[in-house]
Amino acid sequence: MNRVALSVCTSVLQLALVGVGSLVLLGLMAKVKARAEGRVGSPVVQPLRDIRKLLTKERLHARHSSVVLALAPMVITASAAVAVGISPIIGTHPVLGQSADIFVIVYLLLTGSVASALAGLDPATAFGGMGASRAMTIGALAEPALLVAVIALSVQAGTSNLPGIVSSTASHPAWVFGPVHLFALGALLIVVLAETGRIPVDNPATHLELTMVHEAMVLEYAGPELALVTLGEAMRLGLLFSLVANLFLPWGVATGDSLGALAIACAALVAKTTTLALVVALIEVRSAKLRLFRLPELLAGGFVLSVLAVVMGLVIR
């Protein structure tokens, strides 16, 4: 099969899979949490239904908002979508895969965060500012951990190109159980919790404005734009889950040129991310939300873990 077509195919599959799958993962985690708490919980596909419902609603903009409020959802979703499209989620040759650098992905995600923070500040409300401030603080503390953790992996692989890291990890299975990967995994898990706004960093289900972080930022969104924001955020979560999964368990990712491998990769991805989602849900169930000012301790822990990963990489080589 033509490489270009395969690349396009890979990217489109990734987008579709992550676009829908991440919403399902959200539903799944909610379900697991509900079950663990002894509730029935809403169906796993509830987020998809919510999106559909939101799309039919009216667009509302706050009185003092500007074009930023309208643009932000698109930027959030587009940045997440592009990151998903070029990352090695089911195959190592997506569109623009050669420039799927970790730096690109991290900063695409950062662009999304910046857009949502600005959207929080735009409507001139107290909650929006509060959410933006908190989200940016958490982001600023999580980003170093994220970057350094991925750098630990890329030092080991000798490249910062994500497909490159994934394929070289796949060809060196011993790495997976090495200290570099373990420390980096720890750091990345913390980062994922922070970046996706899960307990103990943020409670996605809260309805108390003063404890909100992410929800406070998007308080002013309604209708299709809220749907877009939700979709974008879900895709970020999906992206991060699948990246963590693929960086640490690279098997199943299609490195070859066949559609069959892609199919297998889809299945592997679903399995890996579902497992990860279950783990995250269990963490959420088991822990309470941290006070905002205790968060730095957690994130600093993540950062130290990631630095440790780099140092370990230097020590054991």
Draw the binding track, 201-240, toward other proteins (x: CB under 8 A; -: no contact).
--------x---------xx--xxx--x------------
The separation between CA 126 and the C-alpha centre of its own chain, rounded to angstroms, equals: 27
How far apart are CB 311 and other proteins at their closest, in Å? 7
How far apart are CB 286 and other proteins at their closest, in Å? 26
Residue holding tokens 């958490």?
A: 138
Site for other proteins in 288-307 (CB under 8 A): 292-293, 296, 307
β-bridge partners, 101: 161
At residue 41, the 3 state secondary structure works out as: coil
How far apart are CB 45 and other proteins at their closest, in Å? 20
Site for other proteins in 14-53 (CB under 8 A): none
3-state secondary structure 74-135: HHHHHHHHHHHHHCCCCECCCCCHHHCEHHHHHHHHHHHHHHHHHHHHCCCCHHHHHHHHHH
Site for other proteins in 171-200 (CB under 8 A): none
How far apart are CB 279 and other proteins at their closest, in Å? 25
| Between 117 and 188, CB nearer to other proteins | 117
Question: Do residues 245 and 273 touch, judged by C-beta distance below 8 A?
Answer: yes
How far apart are CB 245 and other proteins at their closest, in Å? 22
Q: Does 274 bind other proteins (CB under 8 A)?
A: no
Tell me how far CA of residue 200 lies from CA of 7, 131, 155, 179, 209, in angstroms.
38, 16, 30, 25, 17
Give the total of residues touching other proteins (CB under 8 A).
Answer: 90
Which residues, in sequence order, are CB contacts of 240 under 8 Å at separation 6+? Answer: 109, 191, 192, 195, 196
Site for other proteins in 90-129 (CB under 8 A): 95-96, 98-99, 101, 103-104, 106-108, 110-111, 113-114, 117-118, 120-129
Draw the binding track, 55-94, toward other proteins (x: CB under 8 A; -: no contact).
xxxxxxxxxxxxxx-x--xxx-xxx-xx--xx--------
How far apart are CB 171 and other proteins at their closest, in Å? 14
| Between 156 and 273, CB nearer to other proteins | 156
Q: Of these, 31, 33, 134, 181, which contacts other proteins (CB under 8 A)?
A: 134
Tell me how far CA of residue 30 lies from CA of 24, 39, 45, 47, in angstroms.
10, 10, 10, 10
| Between 101 and 284, CB nearer to other proteins | 101
β-bridge partners, 91: 254
